[in-house]
Structure 1
Amino acid sequence: MNNNRNVLIYGASGYTGKLVAESLAKRNIPFYMVGRNQAKLEAARNIVEQRHGAPIDAKIVVSSNATAELLPLFEQVDVVINVSGPFMQLGWPIVEACLQANCHYLDTTGEQDWTIAIQEKYGQVFAEKNLLLCPANSYMWAAGALASEVVLETEGIDSLDIVYQVDNALPSQASTKSFLRMQGNPDSQYYLEQGEYKAWQHDKAFTVVVPYRSQPLLALSWGGACEPVWFKMDDRVRNCRVLTAFGDEIVNHVINVIKEYSEKSQGMTVEQKEQLTNEIGDDMTTSEPPKDDRDLHHTVIVCRGQGRQVTKTFELSLCAPYTWTGEICAESAQRILNGQLKAVGFQSAAKAFGHHELLQTFHELGFTSLPH
């Protein structure tokens, strides 16, 4: 194997995997494309090369997600980017293989319960080995962490209220399955209140107001988000809530789906419930969406901060959020390879690489706004 090939994408044939591969290719970073199906991986590489407009330095390897099978491959790389979800169903062997092989671990999860679970099991041991454990290194929920760090620069802020507002939402199949399995759970979608987790009402739409729109919007807890998890271990923050508004029509449809799911899932085991949300997700998103567009797919993450005597608001504008997910994964890998990692163990991208550094880079690339 090529010793200079230090980055690996697991689940590379999927929607997000192709975006990560394209962003790595743009940075001239050689990488492995790993998954369970040779034909799908080859087709994915062809699509990435078409988008990139040139051959890419990517080697295909077929592997299951069994730790023993992954370990010899992971031992050849420094960074693993896991894009194979739902993560609570598929991700455990991949994190374990990273730990045993001394690899930095990044993933693109949106699953709050997965983020909490790997923090509890692996956060300390990754830190002891000087390795990064960075879940949700993606639009959801790294963008909110970046916006929050800007707000927290104002001394005295101890409470964060975050809204993701999304135009022309374009969820992939894996994302739909991941969020449905969380949104359907009545007991484990958390916000942070006085330093403790509190559960959202899972089958309710909330009304939010964003400063640049003339009408209020409907929003969902959408799994709870990962910002409350990162800030639970941050002495600056006592309260943190995150809601997502991606169109009233979609929100109302999801609420109806969740209510139907709640009725159907009565008496089911956890495994049966997860199978049901997978089936519902397949029905809701029947094919892979096209790559998102910077002029069509806009989002703003509004972070409001409050303290005893101070308030602060930052509106982080961001375009093509799925493409940006590929970009932040590739940028993170590049910074690790360049020795620019700022913090190890369980960290958000904002803490691992610096929020100002990332915002400046993505502003220059045409994706994000900068703080005023």
Structure 2
Amino acid sequence: MSELRPVVLYGASGSTGRLVAEYLREYSIPFVAAGRNKARIQEVMDKVPGIETADYEIAEVDGSVESLTRLFEGRAVVCNTVGPFMRYAEPVVEAAIRAGVHYLDTAGEQDHILRLKDEWGPRFAAAGRAASSAMSIQYALHDIAARICLETPGVDTLELGSYANAIPTVGSTQSIFDVIRADAYHLQDGRLKKYDGVVRQDIVVPGSGYVVTGLNWGGTAMPAFFKDDRRVRNCRMVVAMQNQDIWKRVIDLERLFKVSLQWLPEEALYPVLDRMAAGMTADSPPRENRHVQRSLDWCSARGNTATSRVVIQSSTGYQMTGLMQAYAASRLLGSTHNGVGFRSPAELLGHRELMGAVESYGFARIIEESAA
């Protein structure tokens, strides 16, 4: 068993999976590139820079709990990149629990993250294993910013924002549309409070004169991360894209869903949502350009007499996601992570340590950190 490659990359043929493979190679971590189509996986792996020096194998599975459990047994970590996670995560999580392995994913859907934390998290804890979601550009950087703000005693309210020039992958676009059908929450007075659908809000981008329109983006991961943290009474987040057509499409979709689609069974609804998502992202996007795909992410925290603020500037978010997954896998393999059960990315790895990892590759840096 000890000779088995310790990490399984599930969803290796996707855009994000390819980038995770790239950084698993950077960390010299042997891995299994797994998915439903062996030929497609091989085609994608052949395009990973430096793949000839990686220690990996390819495994084809049918996506069932049974086939995934057989694959995971004897391994240590699963990196799951198969979204939308509200649809496809359950058998992967169940198999990880049965096989007794650590679980990482790149999800941004609040509904999935709440389920991973509340339903599956205790089962991972009982097995002595960790489970972490949103180990990705959304929402690990925001998790870092929030926890740096919480270093200031007395703050209890977190207001977060994001402004990005990003080209969503196919899976990300499907996830954006998928969350329309789920309830979304923010944290108010220590309790999750449901939003009344998609909420639009204008925000000021730090360090600029831009006022842009953002959305509550399915609630985001942040209220889920902090709902049981007694330091935090209130938490909410707004996400804005440089392509301002995206929020308009989401608003239009919500209207269509409420009028025409909400009564459809899932097997009929998913193809409709996916066709609409394909209108935004029809195929895998090109590799990101650092001079173009840039983001600003921030957290402003306050209490009765205390305030703090952190702004993080970054680029090429999907490449950063690949790095975060590989770095997290490395920490889990070395047993230098923090705790078992559900852990947010910064909880699992330490917010300063995780920030150091992305800084070391030049992907991000803190450009503002203040407290009063």
Secondary structure of 1:288's aligned partner = coil
2:105 corresponds to 1:107:
yes
Mark the runs of 5 or more structure 2 residues left unpaired by the alignment. none
Matches within 5 A, 1:278-357: 278-357=274-353
Superposed CA deviations along residues 298-354 of structure 1, whole A, max 9, x for unmatched, are 111110001011111100112111110111000000111122111211011100010
Matched, 1:212 2:207: yes
Structure 1 partner of 2:27: 27
Give percent identity, aligned residues only. Answer: 33
Report SS of the residue matched to 1:139: coil
Distance 1:65 1:221, change over 3 A: same
1:2 deviates by 7.5
Worse-matched range after superposition: 28-37 or 2-11: 2-11
1:172 to 169, 189, 194: 169
Output the CA distance in 2 between the equivalents of 1:266 and 1:132: 35
| Alpha-carbon distance in structure 1 between the residues aligned to 2:154 and 2:82 | 39
**Equivalent residues in 2 for 1:31-46, closer than 5 Å:** 31-46=31-46
Partner SS, residue 139 of structure 2: helix
From the superposition, tell whether residues 292 and 103 of structure 1 become closer, same or farther in structure 2 (CA, over 3 Å).
Answer: same
The CA deviation at 1:129 is 1.6
Is contact 1:147-1:316 (8 Å) kept?
yes
Q: 1:192 aligns with which of 187, 191, 201?
A: 187
Q: How many residues align?
A: 367
Larger deviation: 265-274 or 322-331?
265-274
Larger displacement relative to structure 2 (117-126 or 312-321): 117-126
Contact 1:177 1:281 in 2 (8 A): yes
Aligned positions of 1:1-372 closer than 5 A: 3=3, 5-48=5-48, 51-52=49-50, 54-167=52-165, 169-182=166-179, 184-185=180-181, 188-247=183-242, 248-370=244-366, 372=369
2-structure distance, mates of 1:366, 1:211:
20
Is contact 2:45-2:51 (8 Å) kept?
A: no
Backbone CA RMSD of aligned residues: 1.7
Q: Distance in 1 between matches of 2:2 and 2:52?
A: 20
TM-score (norm 1): 0.94
Code of the residue aligned with 1:194 in structure 2: it is D
The 8 Å contact of residues 25 and 51 in structure 2, kept in 1 or not, is answered as: no
Q: TM-score, normalised by structure 2?
A: 0.94
Deviations 1:265-311 (A, max 9, x none): 14323443334222211232111101212221111111000101111
Q: Distance in 2 between matches of 1:98 and 1:81?
A: 10
Distance 1:266 1:89 in 2: 16
Query: Matched residues in 1 for 2:170 and 2:337: separation?
Result: 32
**TM-superposition CA deviations, 1:68-108 (whole Å, max 9, x none):** 11222201310000111111211111111111111000001
8 Å contact from structure 1 (residues 205, 252) kept in 2: no
